């Protein structure tokens, strides 16, 4: 009986639980948050979460910005060396009544300096190049890809979720 239960439940546990999709050969993270937060308060919180002052630019109830390099992936075991580095990303926030939508794109991991015949290459590794299959433009569905996407999903949800400060 336990074996049958495990066979039924295990596939659902291993399925990818993230908000990423491949659009035009770009990896995009998008999530809609239900909240009545003001635009200004959310921008202040985002800037604080990405340890950057005034990175967000407000334009007609929409906000966009670029992060600096930061540690997004906490569990780095069994990952490629590229994904163990700090990452940066671009984001946009669109506001509607009682909700806001965050879109993250251009996720790049800091390059590892590789020197060959006196030439050093330390260019960033973009998530698009690593996780999109060239034959059909879809996200790869292997263990490492799922782990990276799940870790990034947790990080982005934490960065862009508004938490009101408690006054007492």
pLDDT in tens, 63-86: 778 888 888 888 877 777 778 888
pLDDT for position 14: 46
pTM score of the predicted model:
0.79
Cβ-proximal residues to 156 (8 Å cutoff; 6+ apart), any chain: 19, 29, 31, 72, 102, 104
Assigned CATH for 17-160: 3.30.530
Assign 152 to helix, strand or coil. helix
Mean pLDDT of the chain: 80
Out of 5-9, 43-47, 61-65, 78-82, give the one with best mean pLDDT: 43-47
Condensed to tens digits (0 to 9), the pLDDT of residues 82-128 reads: 788 889 999 999 988 889 999 999 999 987 777 778 777 778 888 88
């Amino acid at each position: 009986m336990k074996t049958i239960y495990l066979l039924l439940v295990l596939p659902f546990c291993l399925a990818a639980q993230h908000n990423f999709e491949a659009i035009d050969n770009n990896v995009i993270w998008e999530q809609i948050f239900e909240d009545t937060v003001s635009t200004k308060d959310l921008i202040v919180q985002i800037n604080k979460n990405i340890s950057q002052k005034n990175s967000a630019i407000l334009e007609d109830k929409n906000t966009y910005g670029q992060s600096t390099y930061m540690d997004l992936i906490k569990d780095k075991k069994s990952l490629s060396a590229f994904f163990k580095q700090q990452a940066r990303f671009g984001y946009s926030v669109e506001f509607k009544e009682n909700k806001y939508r965050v879109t993250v794109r251009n996720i790049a991991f800091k390059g590892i300096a590789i020197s060959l015949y006196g030439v050093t290459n330390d260019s960033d590794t973009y998530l698009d190049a690593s996780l999109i299959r060239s034959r059909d433009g879809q996200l790869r569905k292997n263990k490492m890809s799922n782990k990276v996407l799940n870790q990034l999903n947790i990080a982005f949800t934490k960065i862009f979720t508004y938490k009101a400060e408690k006054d007492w």
